[in-house]
A and B are shown apart, each in its own frame.
Chain A
Amino acid sequence: MNAAATSPAAAPAPPPAAERLRHAARAFPTLFRVGLAEIVAYRAEFVVWILTTNMPLVMLAIWHAVAAEGPVGRFDQREFTAYYLGVLAVRLLTSTWVVWQMSMEIRDGTLSSRLLRPVHPVFAYAAQHLAGVPMRAIVVSPILAIMIAAAGDRLALHDPALMGIFAASLMGAWLLIFFTMVLVGALAFFVESAVAVFELWLAVHAVFSGYLIPLEALPSWIGRTAAVLPLRFMLGFPVEVLIGLMAPAAALRQLAVQWGYVLVLFACAMLVWRAGVRRFAAFGG
């Protein structure tokens, strides 16, 4: 396939980086609109995907039964309500299914047409999946309303600094998840079943991100491991900021770590992608 579109070294006259960036920025609104149109077209699928994220509600019901007799650590019933609704909201806002899309397009070869376009495929994926965010926000807004009604006093709404950090951490979480998914999806260049790797990832993610259980309620060795892994910054960290479990200074430090991880995963994802495209080019001819 034509690798020239992605590796500028092979192109006859490589445009300067600023030029390419400007190109990409100009293409962004169109790509975004295409993504939005796709979601509107497949709205039933979209709703089913949303409904698939029901684990936090089940866990909330369980912890409600447990905390009926008294709080568990720092968590009483209302705190659990705030936590799991927060998990649900952040998870819905930040998840993407780019890994399925990528592994399918790599396997059936439709990636070729993407490589031909003058916009970097990863950028195109990002624009398309970002288009899902406004739709997801519509779904999430009633959850937030319920959250404020049920446990409004537990949220950090009164603290503008924390809310700012929350917004930044939400963006960081989206990017972190997106690049991780690109990394896993790009494995489809090398192995048969990138989706099996993804399943493995799901299991690890469920435990170490705080999706199943608040990290501080977990056995301490898991909590300590989770503190250094990037997984926590995809979900648990924004939620903890939102429900006011974290002081502003500590939250700011953690935010820096999160964005550091974003850069690291961006680099890793692009490396694997590039190596993969070279292989793909060799195969597809």
Chain B
Amino acid sequence: MTAGGAKTILRYGRLLGVQVRMSAVTAMQYRSDFVVRGFVTALWMSVTLLPLFVVFGARQTVAGWSFPEALVVVGWFTLVRAVLEGGVSPSLTAVVEHVRRGTLDFVLLKPADAQFLVSTAKFEPWRIIDVLGALGIFVYAFAHLGRWPGPKELLLGVVFLVLAIIVLYSFWILVVSAAFWVVKVDNLSYLFQSLFDAGRWPITIFKGALYYLFTFVFPLALMTTYPALALLGRLSARNAALAWLGGLAFAAIARAIWGRALRMYTSASS
């Protein structure tokens, strides 16, 4: 790597640090919120788990998934949702507001990559509660299974967490890009979240149209089922490679569309 490249990365690393610190400071101002949010999170987690308990109360296995294996998928779902709602959607929701008001100008004027700036503008640190919940679910699930993932599975799991975040983020960028065309996009984000909710189920439970929708169009499979398979040691090398290839292609397309959307943007004043 050239010295210039290293310097750029260092600079963006520092920028990220500043942005995270700003979010943390803002969040600390609303400490009582932390308690309320913690409560809401715990409640939602039980609502997430309830259908699983009911379904596996009626059957030992569903579409080849046992209860603890399906729990691993729910663990991933919780983890990825924590990343989504703590690190991705707050910033990108703010972009929509920028576009609507025309204040995106101020971001575009800054001497840094616009996509980077808008994507790191806001974090919600209290989502760490979700991460802890996800870890709890993993521990419970593997204790139930009676075997623990080895270092290879753990490493593969982390690799797939990265992929899940890339895909998730790319999808959000696509949703936000839509804001440049249709402006009122906040309910698109609700649509996104409602579709994402289906990710708590192993993808193979779905048949026909839904299976294709959640694998290729809205790749939920890449976000929760594949990482879970990786952690369970059930993912073949070929499928893993294909998943990464697909995920990266998706990210490249999203970035290209974001670029086109930016060129479309005209603020209120221009």
Contacts and interface: CB of A to CB of B under 8 A. Distances in A.
B257 to A, nearest CB: 19
Interface of B: 36-37, 40, 43-44, 47, 50-51, 53-55, 57-59, 62-63, 182, 184, 187-188, 190-191, 194-195, 197-198, 201, 205-207, 210
A212 interface: yes
Given A58-B197, A61-B205, A69 B50 contact: no
Contact of A203 (B43, B54, B57, B197): B43
Contact of B201 (A51, A62, A203, A206): A62
9 contacts: A48-B187, A55-B197, A58-B201, A61-B205, A66-B59, A207-B50, A212-B50, A217-B58, A218-B54
Contact of B51 (A48, A203, A212): A212
B40 A200 contact: yes
Determine the interface band of chain A, counting residues with CB < 8 A from chain B: 20 to 34
B116 to A, nearest CB: 28
Interface string A197-229: 001100110110000110001110000000000
Contact of A217 (B40, B54, B205, B206): B54
Interface in A2-56: 42, 44-45, 48-49, 51-55
Contacts of A58: 197-198, 201, 210
Nearest to B192: A52
Given A44-B182, A66-B58, A61 B50 contact: no
A103 B195 CA distance: 25
A45 B184 CA distance: 8
A interface secondary structure, majority = helix
Contacts of A55: 194, 197
Given A61-B206, A65-B62, A196 B51 contact: no
Given A54-B195, A203-B44, A65 B63 contact: yes
A18 to B, nearest CB: 41
A72 interface: yes
Given A48-B188, A62-B205, A196-B36, 5 more contacts: A49-B190, A53-B194, A72-B58, A200-B43, A212-B50
A87 to B, nearest CB: 14
Given A55-B197, A61-B205, A212-B51, A66 B40 contact: no
Nearest to A44: B182
